[in-house]
Amino acid sequence: MPTDEIRDTSEITLPGIAASPGIAHGQVFLHVQNDLELPAHDIDPAQRGEETARFERALIATRLQVQRTKAEVEKNLGADEARIFDAHLLVLEDQALISETLRELETSGHNIERCFHRVAQRYIAAFETIEDEYLRERAGDIRDVAQRLLQNLLGQAAQSLGELAKGRVVVAGDITPSEAAGLDRSEALAIVTDTGSKTSHAVIVARSMRVPAVVGARDLTKRVRNGDWVLVDGYEGKVILHPAEQTLFRYGKIRLEKKNIELRLLEASRQPAVTLDGVTVALRANIEQAGETKLVQEFHGDGVGLFRTEFLFLSAPRVPSEDEQYAAYRAAAETLAPAPVVIRTLDLGGDKPMPGGAHLFARESNPFLGHRAIRFCLDQPAIFKDQLRAILRASAHGKVRLMYPMISGREELARANAVLAECRAELTAKGVAFDATMPVGTMIEIPSAALTADLLAQDCEFFSVGTNDLIQYLLAIDRVNDRIAHLYEPTHPAVIRTLRHIVTEAHRFGRKVSVCGEMAGDPVYAALLLGLGVDELSMTPPLLPAVKFAVRAMTLADARQLAEDTLKLTSAKESQSLCENFYRARVKVE
C-alpha cells in the first residue's frame, strides 16, 4: 500500500486494455479484496455428518443469493446479461465439484471450508491454463461462486461495492461478476483493474451498463490512493493519473468526437455492407450461445459465421445430451433464419477439459498441440455423433452450416465426413427431418491445412480461416505469453502469403472463404482481407458497425491493390503501416 510520504502528483499515463468504451473523470475508490481467513482444523469422524450438512446449507444459501442477483440483473440490464449467472448456478450444481469436496472431507478429515477451498482452487487452476481467452476467464466465475459459498460457511456477509463506490472510479485487482452486478451507472463512474480481459463476465456487465472500463492496468492498485483524481479512457485502454488541465480539456473534445463517431457507426450498421464500387460483403457474427443471436440482430449481422459450441459443454456439470444441444442449435437457426448459422463442432481438448468429462482427458505436456478438437471427437465417436445428429436436426429449422475445427489434412476430414454420413443414415432410418444439402466446411488454422487447401477443398464446401491459431502456429508465437506477444503479427509476410494461397486454392474449386479470427473484427485489416479475396468476415457482434463502416468507405478495386502492394513488402511493420494509412485515408468519421 502507498505510504504517507510526499507523493509526486504529476500526470502519469498507464497503458491497459480497452474493455468497455467511454471516458470518465473522477476520484478513485480503491477496492482491495482481502483473502478470507479460513479456519484449518481436523474434524472428529462423528462430526463429519454435521460438516456435510453445513456444506449443503451453504450451497442452498449461495444458490438463493445467485438467483436474487440474476433476477436483479435481468430487471436492470436484461435477460442476456442475467444469463451470466446461469454459469454460477451450474457451478453450484456441479456434482463432480460437490463429490470431490465430500471425498476430501472423508480422506483428509479437515473442516469443510478447507476442503471446499482446496477443490475449488484445483478447478480454478485448470481453467486458468486454458489458451482460449473467453474460456480462461471462466476461472473468475468459479472464484466468485467459491467466495460466496465460503462467506456463507463462515457466516460473513458480502459488502455491496455499489454502496461503497458511489460517484467514484473503482480501481481493483479484479472485480467479480457479482461485484460488477452490484454497481450501476449512477454509482461507479468507471472500472479499472490490474488484471482481467475483455471477455470477463465483469467486463460484460460493465459494457451492458455503459460503464467505461480498462483492464490489465498492471499494479495500478499499488500506485493510487483513495481520492486520487484519474481519467479513464475506455476507448484506447489508458488510465491517466493526476490529469493536467490541458489533458482534461483535450479529453472533453475527444468525448464529443467519440459520441459523434458512435452515432455514425450505428447509422452505418443499419446500411448494407456494400463497397463504393458496388460489391456486397457478407459480415457475420461469432457467438458462444444461442441467446447471443439478439446481439447479431441488434448490430445487423448477416447471420452467424462461427457458433462456438464449447460453451454448452463447459457450462454444464456433465456432457450435454443430443436433445439439449439440438434445442440450442435450433433456437439460433430459427431466430436468424433465413440468414445462415455456421456451427463449429466441439473444440475441446487437453487444454480445455469439460466439467463432468475430466476422465476423458489425460494430462499433456503440450495440450495446445495435443488431443483436442477434431482429434478428440474422432476418438470419442459417441460424443461426436450426438453433436452431429443435433446439428443435422437443427438444420431442418433454418440455414445451418456445419464446420470442423483443427483439421490437419484430407484424411482427417474424410474420417469426420464418414461419421457425419453415419449420422445422416441413422436419422433417415428413423424418419427424422434434416437438410440433406447442409453445407459442410472446415476451419483452416493449422499450417498443414493451409498448405493442402487444394486437397481439402475437394472434400468440403467452404473454408473458415481461424487467424488467431493460424498466425500463432505459423510464427511459433504463444499469443498469451506476455514476453513474446509483441511478435504476434497479423501482417507478417508469411501470414499474408498463406492467406492468399488459401483463398486462391479455395476459389479454384469454387469454395468460399470466411475469416472468423480477430483479424476479421479489426477494421484496419478489412481492406487487406477483402483485397486478398476473402468472401466473408465474421466477428464479435459489437465490432460489426466499425467494420461495416470501413467496407462502405472503400472500393474493392483499391482493396485489391492494397493486397498486391503488401505482398511485395518484406516486413510486418511495413505492411501494418500500409493498412493503417489505407484505413485512415478513407475512414473519416469525425
Looking at the annotation, which residues are catalytic? 201, 516
Strands 213-215 and 17-20: antiparallel
For residue 94, the Cα-to-chain-centroid distance in whole angstroms is: 22
- Rounded Cα distance between 492 and 154, Å, is 54
CB environment 568-586: b (16+ within 10 A), e (fewer) = ebeebeebbebbeebbeeb
Q: Which of 290, 235, 288, 296 minimizes the C-alpha distance to 269?
A: 296
Three cell numbers, residue 307: 457458433
Sequence-ordered list of residues with C-beta below 8 angstroms from that of 86, at least 6 positions apart, any chain: 70, 315
- Rounded Cα distance between 321 and 390, Å, is 9
Q: Which residues pair with 341 in a beta bridge?
A: 304, 400
In three-state secondary structure terms, 303 is coil
Return the residue matching grid coordinates 493510487: 224
Three cell numbers, residue 176: 467479480
CB 403 within 8 A of CB 440: yes
Strands 282-287 and 238-241: unpaired
CB 228 within 8 A of CB 34: no
- Rounded Cα distance between 461 and 456, Å, is 9
Question: Where are the alpha helices (H) located in 439-588, listed in sequence order?
Answer: 447-451, 453-456, 467-475, 493-508, 523-531, 544-552, 556-567, 572-586
Q: Which of 109, 120, 107, 108 minimizes the C-alpha distance to 58?
A: 120
CB 52 within 8 A of CB 112: yes
Question: Where are the alpha helices (H) located in 187-282, listed in sequence order?
Answer: 201-208, 245-269
Return the residue matching grid coordinates 498443414: 448
**Residue 177 identity (one-letter amino acid):** P
Q: Which of 288, 16, 314, 65 minimizes the C-alpha distance to 181?
A: 65
**Residue 448 identity (one-letter amino acid):** S
Return the residue matching grid coordinates 450498421: 269
Give the DSSP letter of residue 158: P
In three-state secondary structure terms, 305 is strand
Q: Which residues pair with 416 in a beta bridge?
A: none
Q: Which of 579, 521, 501, 532 minimizes the C-alpha distance to 305?
A: 521
